Amino acid sequence: MSKRDLKKYVSELNKQQLEEQIIELYEKFSPVKVFYDFVFNPKEDKLLQESKTKISHEYFPIKKPGAKWRPKAKMRRSVAQKIIKHFILLGVDPFVIADIMFYNIEIAQTYSSGNFIKQELFYKSMLNSFEQSVNYVMVNGILNEFKARIVAIQQETIQQKWKIRYEFETILDKIDL
C-alpha cells in the first residue's frame, strides 16, 4: 500500500474507527507501543542511563551472583549502533543522541586502556563511530557543546598509542576547533 492509498483509507474512517485502529496497532505491535510510550512520557534521562549501562556491560560485564566465573567482554559496537538508531527513530533530543555516541567511544577507550586489544577491527569500528559522531554534532549544530569530548577522545588515542591515532587526528583537522 502506498502512502497515498493509506491517506485515502484513513480519511474515509470516522473518529471512532480511527481510534480503534490505533489502539489495535498499539496492542499488536511492539514498535508502535514503544513509540507512543515515548511520545507521551519521554523519560530521556532514564532511557539514556539504561542505554549507557547496556553499552558499558559490553566492555565490563557484571558477574552474576553465584557464578564462579566472570563473563568475557564482548565489545560489540553493534549494540550501541542499535541504540543510537532506535533513539533517532524515536526523535530523541540530538544532545542525548550525541552523548550516547561519544559515551560508546569513551567506554571502549576506558576498556582498551587496561586491556590489550589485538583485533584491528575494534580500532577501525571506533574510528567509524568517532567520524559518525563528529558528523552528527556538526549536522545538528551542536559541535561547540561537544568539542572538549571530541578532543579528549582524540588525545586518548595518542595516549594509548592506537595504530590509527592519526586517522582520528585527520577527522579533527577537517573541523574547525
Per-residue cell: 17: 474507527
pLDDT (mean) for 46-59 = 90
Residue 176: pLDDT above 80?
Answer: no
To the nearest whole percent, how much of the chain has pLDDT over 70?
Answer: 96
**Predicted confidence (pLDDT) per residue in 85-136, tens digit:** 999 988 889 999 999 999 999 999 999 999 988 889 999 999 999 999 999 9
pLDDT at 69: 66
- With a cut of 80, say whether residue 77 has pLDDT above it: yes
Q: Among 9-13, 71-75, 83-87, name the one with the lowest average pLDDT.
A: 71-75
Yes or no: say if 157 and 110 are a contact pair by the CB < 8 Å rule: no
Grid coordinates belonging to 1: 500500500
The CA distances from residue 97 to 17, 93, 162, in Å, are: 36, 7, 26
Angle, CA 56 vertex, CA 50 and CA 62 arms, to 5°: 95
Query: With contact defined as beta carbons under 8 Å apart, do 127 and 165 qualify?
Result: no
How far, in Å, CA of 97 to CA of 111, rounded?
22
